[in-house]
Amino acid sequence: MTADELIKQFGMAPHPEGGFWVRSSIALPPHPAWSAIYFLLRRDDISRLHVLTADELWLAHGPTPVELIQIFPDGSLKRSFLGLDITKQQVPQITITTGTIFGARVLPLAADATATPAPHDDYALMSCLVIPAFTDECFTLCDREELLQRFPSHAQTIRDFTPNIDTKP
């Protein structure tokens, strides 16, 4: 199945951070303790650097692994690989803690420039579980210039995960 077919089948919409999403479930009021979405990144999509005021659990569904970047409040950076092939240092789930800046992208193709992904390999499908339940107020898209000032040692990563965006009103 291709990315476009999945987007249509699930009724996904573009996500403000990049990629496509659709809510899959939410704990019922009066105490919505969690919410879950399906999240899809195509080969050229970027989940731009953003921060939540809630914890988030990312779960891989395949077919392609994802590079997930986290910048912690102390300024340290962690690069993880969300995927289903644990023999290649991929993990099937990653927890992002409250206040961590993070973003993701589908892993680039191998160095072999002649490699062409199969139609079913040009995307990654994930589930994202937010605890407590996601609200628009818990989401902030990060500003490139502010991040570059705060974390100059991560300049290239910040540029890679904040492509051509202006988050200022």
* pLDDT, position 112: 41
* pLDDT, position 117: 53
* pLDDT, position 101: 98
Only one residue has tokens 């939410």, namely 26
| Contacts of residue 55, Cβ cutoff 8 Å, sequence gap at least 6 | 95, 96, 97, 98, 130, 131
* pLDDT, position 149: 96
- Quote the CATH superfamily of domain 3-109+119-160: Jelly Rolls (2.60.120.10)
Residues of the chain with pLDDT under 50: 111-114, 166-169
Q: What is the pTM of this model?
A: 0.86
* pLDDT, position 91: 97
C-alpha span between 133 and 25 (Å, rounded): 10
